[in-house]
Structure formats: C-alpha cells, structure tokens
Amino acid sequence: MITDAQTTNFDLTEDQQQIQKTAREFAREQVAPRAQELDEKAEFPEDIFKAMAELGFLGLSIPEDAGGSGFDTLSFILVVEELSKVCGSTGLGYAAHISLGVTPIHLFGTAAQREKYVPQLCKGVDDSGNLTLGCFGLTEPGAGSDAGGTKTRAERKGDHWLVNGRKAWITNPHYSKTCIFTAKTNMNPKDGKGITAFIAELDTPGFKVEAKENKLGMRSSDTAQLVFEDMKLPLDAVAGGQEQVDVGFAKFMKTLAGGRISIGALALGIAAGAYEKALEYARQRKQFNKPIGTFQGVSFMLADMAMEIEAARHLVYHAARLRDAGRDFALAGSMAKLYASEVAMKTCTNAIQVLGGVGYTREYDVERMMRDAKLCEIGEGTSEVQRLVISRQILGDLRGA
Ligand SMILES: Cc1cc2nc3c(=O)[nH]c(=O)nc-3n(C[C@H](O)[C@H](O)[C@H](O)COP(=O)(O)OP(=O)(O)OC[C@H]3O[C@@H](n4cnc5c(N)ncnc54)[C@H](O)[C@@H]3O)c2cc1C
C-alpha cells in the first residue's frame, strides 16, 4: 500500500500536520460511519457540523483577531480533503461555508460588517445551539456560467434597498444565518456590470429559502433556491460600503477564485477515498485463485489513480500556498480545480470497475463517491468555464490583439 512516506513530502508545518491528523481522525471516527446512511436519507449532518464548530473548524482559516482560528489556507484545504475522503457532502458544506460564506465578508466587508458577522460565522453555533453557517448567492435559474447575467434587482428607495429575485443551487441556506448575494443595481452602468453585493440575514422579512433540491450526489449537503420578495435591506447592507454600489461583481469573482481551491481539495479527497477503497479490495478479492491486484489490467488502473491523485495534490496544495504567500493564485486555483475534478471522476469510475458488481451497489461507498465527484465538474464554474478562465489567461495577449 502507498504510504505517506512514499508520496511527496509536502513539508507541512507542525500546525498543518496537527490539523490534518485531527481532521483525519474526526473524519474516520465521526463522519465515515454515517456517510452512507446520510446519503441514503439525503439528511444534512447537523451534529457533525456542530462537532466541527467545537473543534474550531468553522472559522479555521480566518485570523484570530477577526474571530477565527488563525490557520492558513493550506490547513483549511487539508481539512476539506480529509472530510471529503469519507463524505463529499460534508466536505462540500464545509468548503462552501468557509470559502463562500465567511471569507468574502471577512475580505470585502466594512469594519462594521466584519465585526457584526464574522465572529458568529466562525463560531458556527448560536446560544440556542442552532448552526449559524454562511451561504453565497450568485447563481440564478437564468444565470449560471454567465453569472453576470443576474436578474435579481435591488432598487434604492430612500433609506433602504428593495430586493426582488431568485437565486438557485445555493449551498447551506437552511443552516445559515447570513447570506452574501449579488443583485443588479444599475441597468445602464458606465463601468462594471452594475451589480452590487449585499449581506442579508436569513430571517429578514421577504427572504425565503425553498425546499432542498433532490440531487444525484452530494445528497446530504443542503442545496436550495433563495427567493427575495420585496425584501427591504438597510443602506449599509452593501458589502464593502456605499462605494461598492454597482461594482460588487469583481469581488464575487475573486471569492470564486479562492473557492475553486477548496473544490479542488474536495475533488482530491473524493479521489483519494475511492482509491483507498479500490486498493484494499484489489488486495483481498481473489479470482482465478489470485488477488485481482495481481492482474495487470487492475494494477495499471491503480497505478494511474495513484499518479493522478499525487499530481492533483501538488496542484491543489500549490494553489493554497500561493494564496497563503499573498501571490496571485487565480490561474493555479482554476488548474487545480479542473484537474482534481476530472481525476476524481475518473478515479471513482475506475474504482467501481475494480470492485466489479459490488462496486455498483449502494453497500460499497464507491458509487456514492462517483455521484459526489460529478458535482466537482459543475460547481464553482464548470470544467468548460475553467478551460475558458485558463485559456483567457494563457492567450491574454492574443485575445487582446
Ligand atoms: C450541488 C451544487 C451546489 C452549488 N452551490 C452554489 C452556491 O453555494 N452558490 C452559488 O451561487 N452557486 C452554486 N452552485 C451553482 C453552480 O456554480 C452552477 O451550477 C454552475 O456555475 C453552472 O451553472 P448552470 O448550472 O446554470 O449551468 P449552465 O451555465 O447552464 O451550463 C450548462 C452547460 O453549458 C456549458 N457552458 C455554459 N457556458 C459556456 C461557455 N461559455 N463555453 C463553453 N461551455 C459553456 C457548461 O459548461 C455546462 O456544461 C451550485 C451547484 C450545485 C449543483
């Protein structure tokens, strides 16, 4: 079996190794035993998120002086990877909370907004014991890959904004207290897209969360539409303050760039989890009086999985380290997300192949992992959109000519 010592030494710091160990034990002991049942029932694991809140995971990569746990991006990525090895849904809900729910408010909010929302989001649970996750509303029924095609409108009416519209495919809303979302505020903008980012509390009158979507995979993650019907927001609900009116779209794109690293980690974790299952099975299962791992057709599939997962890990950790170093990580993040997602899909499909008939049943985790992996090629920008982002960067000069 491939061991940590045989793979690249990623030179993790002591803090990163400690977080990885804690997350690995937590995932194996508390998440893995429940993953199949939660998937079957499409049930959100509230208690698992509450236990993660106690571990300080829900504000992991937010600085301590802002109310978080003060770890770096790579530490957060290691936690997403470990959770996703055993349960993609838990990995997705966790990644979305930190990358999309908390981080944009921490990075782009005014001082007052950061103080008001970030500590509670990092704590993750209120005094009544309810989860207080964050969610991010960009996608709409008619605006997916073309996220700038937002139809949700926010009109300034004297001392408040009046919001009407709908957001689709939003992660975590039933367990969130706060939502950061986009709305069109200027139909004829001189600069930018005339889109503004707002922060709203989910109990605001006129804010409704619809029923959970019935999905192929990531079934125990919470995905739903948000509806805004004459929702009144105060003027200071504009994320980043009044100067950000009409120009909030760029901040959302920056948030997505960071979020892509965590979807890369989600995909990496799912791939690694499926590979471990396939490896174990190839050692035990005998046909023709030999372990199936002795057949070249099977061992070569495992060799490809090991190599591709290793390459995905390099890309994902590299993107996280660029972010931690304060360097531009947008291209690296897109490459990491795209590559790791496609590795996850291929690894899971081949893991089912290695397990044969039993791999095709709900008793073995690999079919769940394959259904979960598919989301990674869609969420936070589809694989086609990642290729657009990458090609725009590498052909920038040509396109501008
Ligand atoms: C489980 C789940 C969780 C999600 N969580 C969130 C969330 O928390 N917040 C949020 O805002 N959104 C979220 N999303 C939405 C997600 O980001 C979108 O689904 C995604 O961006 C694709 O948009 P779409 O589904 O409308 O597909 P479309 O944009 O309609 O794309 C359909 C197909 O057309 C292709 N396509 C579109 N444009 C181009 C182009 N220019 N060139 C080539 N191909 C193209 C796409 O690649 C895809 O294959 C989530 C989605 C899912 C499924």
**Residue 266 near residue 379 (C-beta atoms within 8 A):** no
CA of 138, closest atom in ligand 1: 11
Domain boundaries, the chain: 14-123, 133-247, 251-400
Classified by CATH at the fold level, domain 14-123 comes out as Butyryl-Coa Dehydrogenase, subunit A; domain 1 (1.10.540)
Rounded to 5 degrees, φ, ψ at 240 are 90, -5
Ligand 1 site-directed mutation target among 145, 209, 223, 337, most atoms within 8 Å of CB: 145
For residue 358, the 8-state DSSP code is G
One digit per residue, the tens of pLDDT, for the chain of length 401 reads 555 545 667 999 999 999 999 999 999 999 999 999 999 999 999 999 999 999 999 999 999 999 999 999 999 999 999 999 999 999 999 999 999 999 999 999 999 999 999 999 999 999 999 999 999 999 999 999 999 999 999 999 999 999 999 999 999 999 999 999 999 999 988 777 899 999 999 999 999 999 999 999 999 999 999 999 999 999 999 999 999 999 988 888 888 899 999 999 999 999 999 999 999 999 999 999 999 999 999 999 999 999 999 999 999 999 999 999 999 999 999 999 999 999 999 999 999 999 999 999 999 999 999 999 999 999 999 999 999 999 999 998 676 54
Active-site residue numbers? Answer: 380
Distance between start and end Cα atoms, the chain: 52
Give the span between the Cα atoms of 389 and 401, in whole angstroms.
18
Look at residue 254 in the predicted model and tell me its pLDDT: 87
Nearest ligand 1 atom to the CA of 171 is 8
Tell me, using a 6 A CB cutoff, whether residue 161 lines ligand 1.
no
Residue 251: predicted pLDDT: 85
What does pTM read for this prediction?
A: 0.96
Is the separation of the CB atoms in 264 and 92 below 8 Å?
Answer: no
The pLDDT of residue 189 is 84
What is the CATH architecture assignment of 251-400?
A: Up-down Bundle (1.20)
Q: Which amino acid is at 266?
A: L
CATH, range 133-247? 2.40.110.10
Q: Whose CA is nearest to atom 45 of ligand 1?
A: 384
Q: Which of 382, 389, 399 to mutate to test the pocket of ligand 1 (most atoms within 8 A of CB)?
A: 382
Q: How far is the CA of 375 from the centre of ligand 1 (A)?
A: 10
Of 248, 261, 237, which is closest to residue 179 (Cα–Cα)? 237
